[in-house]
Structure formats: C-alpha cells, structure tokens
Structure 1
C-alpha cells in the first residue's frame, strides 16, 4: 500500500535531499581541501589546473638536472683550485732549485707533483662526469628540452699535457734542473698551465652562474604554476566550514518542518 504524502511533506523531503547533496559536496571539499576534484566539478578549471600541475612537475624534473650540472661544475672548479695549489708548490720547488745543491730531491718532488696534478683531475668527477677529463654537459632548461646550455670540459693527461676546451695545449715536462735556463723553462710551463686553468675556470664559472639563474627561475615558475593551479581548484576552508554550519542548520529546520507537516497530516486523519 502506497503511503500518501502531502504537498508540504513532499516539499520538505525534496529540500532535505538537496541539503544532503550539498552537505556531501561540502564534506568532500573539507576532506580533500579542493573545490574541484574531478572534471565533473568544473571541467574548465580542472583541465587548466592539470596543465599547470603537469608543467610544474616537468620543470621540477629539469631542475634536478640543473642541480646535478651545478654540482658537476662545482666539483671541477674545486679540482682546478687544488691543481693550482699543486702548480704553485711546483713553482716553489723550481725556484728553490736555482740556488740549491740538492736538485735531485727537488726534481723527484717536482715529478711527483706532476703525477698528482693528473690524479687530482681524475678525482674531480661527480656522478660519473668529469669536466677535467674532457667530459661535457648538456643542460636542459625547459620542459620540452628545446632550450639547452652546453658545458665543455678540458683534459689533463698523465704525461702532464693539459688540453683546453678549445683544443689548445700546454705541457708540464719532467723536471730538468740542470741550470737556471731549464729551471726557468719549467716555471714558464707552470705559468702557462695556471693561465689555462684560470681561463677554463672562468668559462665554467660563467656557465655555473647561468645554470644557477635558470634553476632559480625554474623554482619561481614552479611556484607560480602550482599557485595558479591551486587557485583554480582549492577550496576556501573558512567558506566551506561556514557552508557546512549553514547546511546543518537548514537540515535541522527541514527535519523539524517535516515533523510538523507529518503531525498536521496525522491530525487531519484523526477527524475520520
């Protein structure tokens, strides 16, 4: 047997159903923190936000590559600084040979330092890449990889030959401290090597500065994209909290109204 509902009761039930639906929506927003959780909520804002989030994610991956490149260059620059210290020590030994009677020991120390220059260069690698062993980097700045920067390294050979990124060479010959002329020749070789290292260090530092600027820019772009996407999808928690309170009040009022409508219907039935 079907239960007959009065117009007032039907109206109150529909109102309660609407309130319940709104409460579910509000509860979902409060639990997720978002007003747009799927394309059904707002297709335009949902897909715009997805594009922003995806681009921010792609840029974050590129920034990881930039940070690795920065560390690789820093490792190379550290190696260059220490090689310069070794060369300065070699220069001191050569200068001392001009006035020393014990050139044999000085010569042995000098030749040992030449090998240490090579070993220092070999140990200046980071993550399997070594800009002091003629490796190169290609750093990508944007999400599709169309904007890049190439960083070329240079080589330090075991025989003391240093080859610049441009292909020019200078050599550190084994010691020959027979006379002041040969000593001065060794000092000239050291000065040429130091000059080349400083030139290469300047190039690497310029590339490092560029990559750091792009990494900072990428961070700002990530923040901008994520903030923009959040603005399209995130809910105002204060507003949603107030909505929930209002809906709860409406629900209570609707339940009371339905109860009153039901009592009125029962009173009419008692007349028969």
Structure 2
C-alpha cells in the first residue's frame, strides 16, 4: 500500500510520527539495557566502536603474553625445586665425606698357613717384612718404622697382633696402626685417615726351613669402611642426576641447559638454564687409590686427600647451585614485574573500551520509563485526532 493511498489529517500525521520515534527510542533503550552497552555496532557510533575494538584487541594480545609468562614462572619454580632438592642431596653426600674422613682406611687380612718369605706390607709409613723360619707355629716379622728403626717380633700368631700394636705405640705413632688376630688370621688396619696399605706381589712360603715353595701364597683381602661410604656417595650422585633430569616443565628443563624465551609487550627475556648433572658440577667420587694389594684396585676413598678433594668439590657444587639459583630468581623477578604490569595494562585498556561503549543503566532505565509514558501519551493523542475525523459520520446519521 502506497503512502498516498490513505490520507491522514495533519494532526494524526504528526501524532503518528511522534509515536514512531518513541517506539524507535524505546527499542534502542531496551537493547542498551539488555547488552549493557550504548555502542553495539559501528552504526551506533563508528568512532567509539572502532576505538574500543582497538583497545580490546591490544588487551587480548597482552593477555596471551601473560599466559606465556605464567607458564615460564612454573618452569622456573620447577627448576628451583630441583635445585633445592639437589642441594639437600649434596649436603647428605658431604656428610658421608666427613664420616669417611673419620673412618678407618683399608685393612689387609692374611692367613698364616706357612712361613712366608720376602713379603713386605707398608701401612701408614710402617713396613712389615716376613723372613724364613722353621716350620712351626711361630712366625717372625721384621718391623721397620718410617724413621728406619727396626723392631723384631717373634711370637706365635695369637700374640703377634698385640706385639704389632705395642710396637706402634712404642714408636710414638699410636693410633696409626691396628692389628687384630682371629685364629690364624691377622688383620692390619691403617687407622690414620690419610694412609693407604700396600704390599709386594706374590709371596712364597718356606717349609721346614727349606727352599721357598712358590705354590704357597698369602691369602690377602682388602676391605675399607671408607669404601662403604664411597658407594653410598655414588648412589647419591645417581639420584642427583635423576633429579636434574626430572626438573622440567612442559618440555623445558632449565637444569638440562635448556633456554626459555619469555615474551611480553614490547620485548622479551631469555632465561638460560644450566647443567645440574654430577659430571657437569664435578662432584663425582674420586677414582680408586692405586694399591698393589690383591683385590684393592677398586677401593674408593682409600686416602683422606681423595675424600677432602671430593668434599671440596661438593662445596663448589653448592656454590654453583646458589649462583644459578640467583640468576633464575632474577629472571623470575623480571617476569613477575611484567605480569603485574600486564595485568594493570589489561585493566586500563578494558576500562577505556567500556568508557567508550558501556551504557549507564540508571540513565537508560529512566529513559525507558519516560519513553513508555510518551508512548502512552502519543497513543492517546492519536486517538483524539481520529475522533475529529469520526465526527463527519454524524452528518450521515
């Protein structure tokens, strides 16, 4: 139907236009109240709409950086947890080293089954030399201390240990050597923490004062309390390597020399890891002390200097961990500052966008009430205008 098909009076036309405007404003107000925004599209206000979209887009980008920073914080915390546990492990290993320094060194036990000839045993600077005797229950040793003073021990096996201990005290070196008799076996122990035990090679025994029988040898066996500590030390080193390999987070392990790039608006920071393995920190147990005693080739921590060397390396390892932990803490501080700044920036941008597009609900509520009243009045006015036209009907009544 065309607009000119029906003719309205001037008053009705004005009332109709006013009512249409009121309905349009009423729809807009309802839309603002439902969305909470006064600018919902570029048609509402192009300048404010696109400015707000720019703010929100930038806030979204910063939020993505913030997510990356949160992951970086977790990675650093995982590495720091690994460092603290490795430090505890090193402290435990250091305790083993101190205990080993106070423990006895190697001991050599041998069974006297025949007379021995030409054998020497050097313990802590004291040398024992066996000589030929007749076949009996007696064994003779020439004992020579570090100063070259010769002492002769000619006792049966059961009294030999006591005599050796007595000579050790007589020489003023009490506590450096300890002999223990057990049946026909004598165990010589270097109590001095820095002394190792060495002997010559194969020993022959003389029977009945005759020629030496190369088929008879001394049954030697090397034991060490320090060796036990060294094995425990090595087990701790294995655990340290395991901790270092398990300190990663989402594929990044800062204790395995990984490097992590952390981005933020306007720049980035590179967090460099380090190797926390035993070999990299140089805290491996010192190798076996060289000894000619059969079975002693694999003895660890045979002398105190080896132990002190390892303990010193442990101290260096702890210092390295402290230095690297400090570097990680510095990087963490920078990331935390960037996180706080990013949060503030996101809030500022979001607030700016809201200021450009958000509706005042109190104002819109008042507008709604006023528009509803105006709509009612416009409807009433239109009704009154139509009554003037209806008066024509009375002429035909």
Instruction: Check whether the contact 1:135–1:153 (CA below 8 A) recurs between aligned residues.
Output: yes
Shift of 1:181: 1.2
- Give the alignment partner of residue 276 of structure 2, picking from 152, 156, 169: 156
Instruction: Check whether the contact 1:94–1:177 (CA below 8 A) recurs between aligned residues.
Output: no
- Give the alignment partner of residue 174 of structure 1, picking from 285, 303, 315: 285
- CA deviations on 1:115-171 (whole Å, 9 max, x unpaired) are 1111101010001100000001111111xxx501011000133xx222xxxxxxx40
Matched positions, count: 260
Highest relative contact order (Cα 8 Å, sep 6+), 1 or 2?
A: 1
1:227 aligns with 2:351: yes
Cα RMSD (Å) of the superposition? 1.3
Instruction: Check whether the contact 1:56–1:221 (CA below 8 A) recurs between aligned residues.
Output: yes
The residue aligned with 1:105 is: 228
Shift of 1:39: 0.5
Shift of 1:270: 2.2
Shift of 1:269: 4.2
TM-score (norm 2): 0.64
- CA deviations on 1:183-218 (whole Å, 9 max, x unpaired) are 110111000111011000000000001000100110
4+ runs of 1 displaced by more than 4 Å? none
Instruction: Check whether the contact 2:256–2:276 (CA below 8 A) recurs between aligned residues.
Output: yes
For structure 1, list consecutive stretches of 5 or more residues without a partner in the other structure: 163-169
- Give the alignment partner of residue 24 of structure 2, picking from 21, 26, 35: 21
Larger Rg: 2
Give the whole-Å Cα distance in 1 for the aligned partners of 2:284 and 2:59. Answer: 53
The residue aligned with 2:321 is: 197
Q: How does 1:60-209 map to 2 (within 5 A)?
A: 60-101=63-104, 102-142=225-265, 146-157=266-277, 160-162=278-280, 170-175=281-286, 176-209=300-333
The residue aligned with 1:8 is: 11
For structure 2, list consecutive stretches of 5 or more residues without a partner in the other structure: 105-224, 287-299
Match of 2:262, SS state, is: strand
The residue aligned with 1:167 is: none
Instruction: Check whether the contact 2:227–2:302 (CA below 8 A) recurs between aligned residues.
Output: no
Match of 1:150, SS state, is: strand
Shift of 1:250: 0.1
Structure ranking higher in helix proportion: 1
Instruction: Check whether the contact 1:139–1:148 (CA below 8 A) recurs between aligned residues.
Output: yes
Q: 1:2 to 1:269 in 2, by over 3 A?
A: farther
The residue aligned with 1:42 is: 45
Structure ranking higher in strand proportion: 2
Give the whole-Å Cα distance in 1 for the aligned partners of 2:309 and 2:370. Answer: 91
Give the whole-Å Cα distance in 2 for the aligned partners of 1:140 and 1:10. Answer: 65
Instruction: Check whether the contact 1:140–1:148 (CA below 8 A) recurs between aligned residues.
Output: yes
Match of 1:140, SS state, is: strand
